[in-house]
Amino acid sequence: MRFKVLLTFLFFAVLKANAVSVSDTIIIKSDASAEQITADLDSLVNNWYVRMALQNSNFMQGADSVGLEYSDSIYKSRLASINSIVNLQYNSIIRNNIHVYIVKQRKKFCAVLGLSEYYFPMIEDIFDQYGLPTELKYMAVIESALNPGVVNRRSGATGMWQFMYSTGRMYGLTINSLVDERRDPVKSTHAAAKYIKDLYNIYNDWILVIAAYNCGPGNVNKAIKRSGNKKDYWDIYYRLPRETRGYIPIYVGAAYALNYYKEHNLSPLPLDIPMATDTIMVNKDYHLTQISEVMHIPLGELRALNPQYKTGLIPGASKPLSLMLPMNHLGDFIGLNDTIRSFKKDVYLNKVTQIADPKHFSAAPADMKGKIKLYYIVKDGDNLGFISEWYRVSLSDLRYWNDIYRNTIRVGQKLSVYVDPAKDDYFSKVNLMTFEEKQKMSGKPVPQTVATAQAISVQAASQTSALEPDGSFVTHTVRSGDTIWDIVKMYDNVTASQVLALNNILEPSKIKIGQVLKIKKKS
């Protein structure tokens, strides 16, 4: 046993002594990077502009030409020539990722090149406003292949920048049953820039920022702590989640492919995206199908320009919302405003439309029709499984009603539940019951850890936050399980970096139970 431990120690010591050897060893472990790149590129078949280009062009026949491969020294020299504040190392795994883009998936990568001509100028402009290195635009390629409408079926991450629900909300994106601004290329890029800037304020290292964007700062902090507070990506490499280990090599591979595609006989897929577009704010409800049919603009194009409207309905009556149109149609929209709104109004602007696209739904879903809507406020120790059992509804219905992609809920969150009107009195009491009462009602045992946690929560709730004497700050008392990222979600208009700076905290992972944090009060 001691001999095996010694061999393991010597093995990692040799790897650590040579950074290239560390990276080269990755290739033995898995080919997850290639799988991830392929999955992202496959999603492009659902992009309307890409689909139209492939249908109306013989371009891909030309993309069949053999992709040229070069020696390691040439790859290394070219990477060194790219202007980048991020260190673009070269090793065998990075060579593999380069070949996935320019050899194995060269046809689909042509679509990424076409999209980059449209989206990169926008990303560069926004990143410049935030003082970020513009080459971080390559992150959007490895996150989504520049596809604003993509949704990760496994995690629920959505949009060009693959925001999770909680992170998107934390950075000001509207996410509900009708509008998902994670799919809005401009707004989500602003949110991504703020998030990246907050991460850099924590790590002061761009490679760690890129890693943290992929797996979350919590995982990076754990990797740093378990590596003896080392803050070099390669030093913490084996402490990071498996997916994140391949993330930096994919980033470098994408950076190379986007800069040197011509040298590999590749060219951008010609996409008919209108380069001249304009945005108009609307303060009334519209449906994209109304606009399409009255103005004779393809519905697919309107959806591609406005991917944030999930059902096609723009609920502008609740608050002013943006509508993007090709520039040459803007004047017509203003002139035809009344005609558009009155066109098949009963079909496109009724209450059913606010649940689903009328082209796909002709009536309210069976699981809501004829039922009464109740609300449940999430408490400590709750999970979706418990709640679905208490209300005797399916877990999938509960997720659907509340636009929840995975199983993540937060304390204080308000959930909608639809129940039989005949049992309204019975189920309306659930929200006021103790955990023990709810479990007893559903014939389930009470997990001791949950019962204890809820008792502590009730006792601590009144002590969690209070106003400072001058009224300019709120204080938050750290509880078990709290992280900086969880805490900032509880307060409006505050970022993690602001809380860290205000409380002179250098290490986000160092907050302790019982510690009192100052939170700037919303002005």
**Tens-binned pLDDT, residue by residue, of the chain (523 aa):** 443 333 333 333 333 333 332 333 222 233 445 666 776 677 787 788 888 887 766 655 555 556 678 899 999 999 999 988 888 989 888 999 999 899 888 888 999 999 999 999 999 999 999 999 999 999 999 999 999 988 887 778 899 999 999 899 999 999 998 999 999 999 999 999 999 999 999 999 999 999 999 988 989 999 999 999 998 888 898 899 888 888 888 999 999 999 999 999 999 999 888 878 889 999 999 999 999 999 999 998 999 999 999 999 999 988 899 999 998 898 899 999 889 998 988 888 875 445 444 443 333 344 566 788 888 988 877 887 788 889 888 776 787 787 775 566 777 788 889 888 888 888 888 888 888 888 888 776 665 544 444 444 444 444 444 444 445 778 888 876 677 776 776 776 677 767 877 887 766 666 777 788 888 776 5
Q: Each residue of 215-225: b (16+ CB within 10 Å) or e?
A: bbbebbbbbbe
Provide the residue range defining the domain that includes 492: 463-520
Q: Same domain for 29 and 120?
A: yes
Residue 7 inside a domain? The answer is no
Q: Same domain for 147 and 255?
A: yes
Residue 332 inside a domain? The answer is yes
Residue 331 inside a domain? The answer is yes
Q: Same domain for 210 and 100?
A: yes
Alpha-carbon torsion angle 73, 85, 138, 192, nearest 10: 160
Strand partners, 375: 416
Q: Same domain for 349 and 435?
A: no
The residue written with tokens 């990075």 in the block is 94
CATH at 429: 3.10.350.10
Domains in the chain, number: 4
Report the Cα 492 to chain-centroid distance in Å. 20
Q: Same domain for 282 and 418?
A: no
Residue 2 inside a domain? The answer is no
CATH at 159: 1.10.530.10
Q: Each residue of 442-476: b (16+ CB within 10 Å) or e?
A: eeeebeeebeebbeebeeeeeebbeeeeeeebbeb
Q: Looking at residue 127, what is its pLDDT?
A: 95
Domain termination residue (choose one: 321, 354, 387): 354
Residue 12 inside a domain? The answer is no
Q: How far apart are CA 222 and CA 72, in angstroms?
A: 34
Q: Same domain for 322 and 376?
A: no
Q: Looking at residue 66, what is its pLDDT?
A: 60
Reading the block at residue 45, the tokens are 């078949």
Element (H, E) at 451: helix 448-461
Domain termination residue (choose one: 402, 424, 456): 456
Q: Same domain for 476 and 442?
A: no
Q: Same domain for 448 and 467?
A: no
Angle between helices 92-99 and 72-81 (to 10 degrees): 80
Phi, psi of 123 (to 5 degrees): -65, -45
Residue 478 inside a domain? The answer is yes
Residue 271 inside a domain? The answer is no
Question: Closest by alpha carbon to 167, among 132, 216, 119?
Answer: 216
Q: How far is CA 339 from CA 165, 311, 345, in A?
A: 36, 21, 10
Q: How far apart are CA 173 and CA 169, in angstroms?
A: 5
Q: Same domain for 260 and 229?
A: yes
Residue 205 inside a domain? The answer is yes
Reading the block at residue 228, the tokens are 């003896």
Q: Same domain for 318 and 225?
A: no
Give the count of beta carbons closer than 10 Å to the beta carbon of residue 363.
10
Q: Same domain for 234 and 350?
A: no
Q: Same domain for 201 and 322?
A: no
Domain termination residue (choose one: 456, 472, 487): 456
